[in-house]
Chain A
Amino acid sequence: MPAQSSEVAPEQTALCASVQQVSKLFGSFAALRQVSVDFEPGRCYVLLGENGAGKSTLLRILAGLLRPTMGKITVFDKHEPHDARERIGYMSHAPMLYDELTAVENLRYFAKLYPGRQCLAPEEVLRQVGLDPALTRTIGQYSQGMRQRTSLARVLMPIPELLLLDEPFSNMDVESVRQMVELLAGFRHASRTIVLTTHQRELAAPIADWALTLRAGRVASLDRGSPTL
Chain B
Amino acid sequence: MNSPLWTHLVKDLRIEWRSFDAIISMLFFSGLVVVLFSLAFDPRGEFSQQIAGGVLCVATMFASVSALNQAWTREIRHQVMDAQRMAPASEAQLFLAKVIANFLFVTICQVVLAPVFFILYNLQVAGEAWKLALVLPLGTWALVSNGVFFAALAMSSRSRELVLSIILFPIFIPALLAMVLATGSILTGDGDPNLWIKMLVAYDIIFTTVSLLLFETVLHAE
Q: B18 — which chain A residues lie within 8 A by C-beta?
A: 100, 138
Q: Which of B1-27 contact A (CB under 8 A)?
A: 2-4, 7, 11, 14-15, 18-19
Which of A38-46, A90-98, A169-177, A201-209 faces chain B? A90-98
A96 and B78 contacting across the interface, CB-CB below 8 Å: yes
Contact of A154 among B4, B7, B15, B83 (CB under 8 A): B83
A88 to B88, CA, bound (A): 10
In chain A, what residue has the closest Cβ to B17? Answer: A100
A112 and B82 contacting across the interface, CB-CB below 8 Å: no
A114 and B87 contacting across the interface, CB-CB below 8 Å: yes
Q: A64 — which chain B residues lie within 8 A by C-beta?
A: 86
A66 to B222, CA, bound (A): 7
B2 to chain A, nearest CB (A): 6
Q: Which of B77-104 contact A (CB under 8 A)?
A: 77-80, 82-89
A138 to B80, CA, bound (A): 15
- A90-B82 contact given A85-B87, A100-B19, A101-B14, CB 8 Å threshold: yes
- A98-B15 contact given A66-B222, A67-B222, CB 8 Å threshold: yes
A97 to B11, CA, bound (A): 12
Q: B198 — which chain A residues lie within 8 A by C-beta?
A: none
In chain B, what residue has the closest Cβ to A83? Answer: B88
A97 and B4 contacting across the interface, CB-CB below 8 Å: no
A90 and B15 contacting across the interface, CB-CB below 8 Å: no
* A117 at the B interface (CB under 8 A): yes
B11 to chain A, nearest CB (A): 5
A92 and B88 contacting across the interface, CB-CB below 8 Å: no
- A114-B11 contact given A97-B80, A100-B18, CB 8 Å threshold: no
Contact of B84 among A66, A67, A105, A113 (CB under 8 A): A113
Contact residues on A (Cβ < 8 Å of other chain), bracket: 20 to 34
* A199 at the B interface (CB under 8 A): no
* B74 at the A interface (CB under 8 A): yes
A208 to chain B, nearest CB (A): 25
Q: B7 — which chain A residues lie within 8 A by C-beta?
A: 109, 112-113
* B131 at the A interface (CB under 8 A): no
* B220 at the A interface (CB under 8 A): yes
- A92-B82 contact given A86-B88, A98-B11, A114-B89, CB 8 Å threshold: yes
B86 and A100 contacting across the interface, CB-CB below 8 Å: no
A114 to B3, CA, bound (A): 10
Count of B residues near A, CB < 8 Å? 24
A96 and B88 contacting across the interface, CB-CB below 8 Å: no
A116 to B79, CA, bound (A): 25
* A115 at the B interface (CB under 8 A): yes
B12 to chain A, nearest CB (A): 10
Q: A100 — which chain B residues lie within 8 A by C-beta?
A: 14-15, 18-19, 74
Binary interface encoding of chain B residues 147-187 relative to chain A, with 1 for a CB under 8 A from any of its CBs, else 0: 00000000000000000000000000000000000000000
A94 and B78 contacting across the interface, CB-CB below 8 Å: yes
- A92-B15 contact given A110-B87, A113-B88, A113-B89, CB 8 Å threshold: no
B76 to chain A, nearest CB (A): 10
Q: A92 — which chain B residues lie within 8 A by C-beta?
A: 79, 82
A147 to B165, CA, bound (A): 35
A98 and B74 contacting across the interface, CB-CB below 8 Å: yes
Contact of B88 among A95, A115, A154 (CB under 8 A): A115
A82 to B82, CA, bound (A): 12
Q: What are 8 A-B interface contacts by the 8 Å CB criterion?
A: A65-B85, A94-B78, A97-B83, A100-B74, A112-B4, A113-B7, A114-B88, A115-B2
15 further interface pairs, Cβ-Cβ under 8 Å (given A113-B84, A114-B87): A67-B222, A92-B82, A94-B78, A94-B79, A96-B82, A98-B11, A98-B74, A100-B74, A110-B83, A110-B87, A113-B7, A113-B89, A115-B4, A115-B88, A115-B89
